[in-house]
Structure formats: C-alpha cells, structure tokens
Amino acid sequence: MNIVLPLALITFFAGFTQGLSGFGSILVSLPLLALFLDIKTVIPLISLFALVINTIIIYKMHKHLRWKDLYPLLLATIFGIPTGVYILKIVSPQILQVALGVMLILFAGYALFIQLPQKRLSSEWAWLTGFTAGCLGGSLGANGPPIIIYTAIQPWTKDKIKSTLAGYFFVAGIGISSTHALTGLITPLVLKLFFLGIIFLIMGVMTGMSCYKRLSEQKYRQFISVLILILGLVMLSKGVTS
C-alpha cells in the first residue's frame, strides 16, 4: 500500500490536534501510523514530528513562555526517570497502565462534569509533578499526563498553559530524538517518511493554531479535558488488553 496518503492525513490531523491544544499529536499518530509501519519506525518518526510541532508553537507563543516555570518540572523529570525504570522492574506495566488510565478518566470526568478548581500551586508541586512525569516516562514512556494535569489546574491563561506544555515537550523531545539518533533508530526510512510528511504536519499545526485563537478560555480547558479523557481510555484499554 502507498504510504503517502495515510501519512499525509495522519500527520495533518496530529499537527492539527497539537496545534489546537498543545499536546496530543502522539496520541493521534502512534496508533494510526502503527497500522501501516513497523513500530520501530513509528516511534522515532513521531518523536521528530512532535519536536517540529513544539518548535513552531514556541516560536509563535514565545512571549507567553516563562522558562523559570519549566526548570523544576524538567530537572525533577530527569531524577524521576531512573525511579520509573526501577518501578517497571517490580510492577507489571499493565497494572501501571490501568492505574494511570483510571486516574486520568476520573480527573477528566471531574473537570468536565463538575468543575476543576483553579488554584495556583506552590513550587513544591512543580517538583513533584516533574518527578512523577519522569517516573511515568521511565516506566511507560508516558511523561505527559502529570504535566498536562499540572498546567490545567493552574489559574493560567490558555496561552500560558499551551506555551508551557510546548516548552516542556520541546526540551523532552530533544532528549528523546537525540537518544534515537545515537542508538541508530533514526534510519534513512525514518528520514524519508519525515520529509514526506513534514509539509502536511506544518499545515495541520497552522490550521490548529488558527482554530485555537477562536477558542475561549473555557472551551480550551474543556478541549484539554476531553483529550485527557481519551488518553485515559487509551491507557486503560492498553492495560486491560495486554
């Protein structure tokens, strides 16, 4: 089967999703591209795509990004990764996926149907969030959920939420793609697919960011909660069916 058409559609939709929300491109692209490509090709490919997306978002929203808010999240993530690797050795990944899925579903349900309290969190919560993200990254390769929830709780504008997410995922993405390159996972095939899909990805990001400008603060937060709910359902499904 010719991969160009599905690659174009998937990368456009992935770019649109993250251009609109600040996250979610991998949630879209990973399961869909895995239908057409080997997973060892998909993982480094979508990581490169995500790095491009976050670069664009940071460029467009740099005036809203406060790097000082990211430092504790990023540093704590580094310390959490080896802990996550150790946890994976003693706890079944299926149990971790089910537990994370249930927590995400409960959080999203509370945010959608009751009301998520907007509360400025102390710096201690940033360190705890980053450490938890590192643990999940080391054990499940899913460092995003704690960061997304942390930003959603804060009484920040949608611009600050989105730019903070982009900043965090940008730095994390550099580390991930560098590791892929050093370990030989970024093959000529990955680069070929990357260059085939990049224009459609950028079109999706720009379209998503255009729609983002039309979203109210409330609608943006609701959209984030819906994506968290979907992410929780995916995690729960993976844990139950593994």
C-alpha distances in angstroms, 96 versus 113, 139, 235, 236?
Answer: 26, 8, 9, 9
Where do the domains of the chain lie?
4-241
Per-residue pLDDT tens for 217-242?
889 988 999 999 998 898 888 888 86
Q: What's the rounded Cα separation, in Å, for the pair 122 and 126?
A: 7
What is the DSSP secondary structure assignment for residue 97, as one 8-state letter? H
Model-wide pTM > 0.85: yes
Q: Are 194 and 48 in contact (CB under 8 A)?
A: yes
- pLDDT tens, position by position, 127-178: 999 999 988 887 777 788 899 889 988 889 999 999 999 999 999 888 888 8
Task: Indicate the helix (H) or strand (E) that contains 82.
Answer: helix 67-90
Exposed, middle or buried: residue 108 (CB in 10 Å: 0-12, 13-18, 19+)?
Answer: buried
